[in-house]
Every structure is written in structure tokens, then in C-alpha cells.
Amino acid sequence: MKSLKKQRRIQVVSVMAVALVLSTVLIGYALRDGINFFRSPSQVVEAPPSPTEVFRIGGLVEVGSLVRGQGETIEFTVTDGGASVPVTYAGVLPDLFEEEQGMVGTGRLINGVFEATEILAKHDESYIPSEVIDALKEQGVYVEPEDT
């Protein structure tokens, strides 16, 4: 009788372990498209990601690089002070999008050009995304704004 209880307990624990592993794999598989890693322009230039990888890039919009094309196509260059990456975006830019301002874009790097599917801009005159600040500090080009 005791060996039957012991055998049943081992079976239950085994089934629970398999269910845990299976659920972990399924959750990871479901989230793989929802995880977008942040990269600075310097990181993108040093180690370009594959054209199938969706990631976020952030930095400052270079002065004089903003070009509005036919229709909704916009081209500009994003920099962190150490490197620059050309960006194309087909859509309506946020109202606060300007040159020399912080931005974060989501998309893919195809043939050396970041093709953005989404562009986020600052939401007030002093906001820069924390990832962009960290990347700019690494390059030594970020200066903390003075409080007024």
C-alpha cells in the first residue's frame, strides 16, 4: 500500500513539473514579439542587428537632417554623439517632434537604415527618455539641465 502512495506522489510531481516547464515555454514564446530591446545609435553601428529583429533606438534628432518627402514619408538622422543612424518613417510624427530633441523609435534596421514603425517624442520641454539619457551620458554629450 505504501509503495502505491509513493508511486502516485511521484507521478503527480512529475506531471506538475512537465506542466510548469510547458507553461514557461509557452509564455516565453508568446512574449518573444513583445520584447523590444533598446539600442543607442553607437550600439547599432558597432553590432548591427539582423533585419528581422525589431528593436528600439533612441537619441537626439540631428540638426538639419529632417527631410519631409512625398506624402507621409519622413527621413532624419538620430545620434547619441558617438554615431548616427539614418531613420525613415511613414506616418504622422508626434506634434512635439523636433530637431535637437530626444526621440525613441521602434522598428528594424534594413540595409543600414532604421525603418521605424513607431516614433515617440518628448512630452514636455525638459523630458528625454531615460534610455536616451543613459546612451548620451556614455558618449559624454549629455549635460544635466539646470533647474530654473
Report DSSP letters for 22-75, one per residue.
Answer: HHHHHHHHHHTTT--EEE-HHHHHHSPPPTT--EEEEEEEPTT--EE-STTEEE
Q: What is the pLDDT of residue 116?
A: 93
Same domain, 26 and 60: no
Same domain, 50 and 108: yes
Distance between CA atoms of 117 and 129, rounded to whole angstroms? 18
Single pTM value for the model = 0.64
Q: What is the pLDDT of residue 10?
A: 93
Same domain, 27 and 45: no
Same domain, 86 and 111: yes
Query: Is there a domain that residue 77 lies in?
Result: yes
Overall number of domains in the chain:
2
Same domain, 55 and 76: yes
Same domain, 12 and 68: no
Query: Is there a domain that residue 116 lies in?
Result: yes
Please give the residue that has the higher pLDDT: either 94 or 22. Answer: 22
* 3-state SS assignment for residue 26: helix
130 alpha carbon, distance to own chain's centre: 12
Same domain, 22 and 49: no
- pLDDT grade for 109, boundaries at 50, 70 and 90: very high
User: Is the model's pLDDT at 102 over the cut of 70?
Assistant: yes
The closest alpha carbon to 87, from 69, 64, 112, belongs to: 112
Same domain, 42 and 109: yes
Classify residue 51 as left (phi > 0), alpha (psi -120 to 50) or beta.
alpha
Q: What is the pLDDT of residue 17?
A: 96
What is the span of the domain harbouring residue 118?
A: 37-139
Query: Is there a domain that residue 128 lies in?
Result: yes
Which residue has 533598446 as its cell numbers?
A: 38
In this structure, what DSSP letter does residue 123 have? S
Classify residue 68 as left (phi > 0), alpha (psi -120 to 50) or beta.
beta
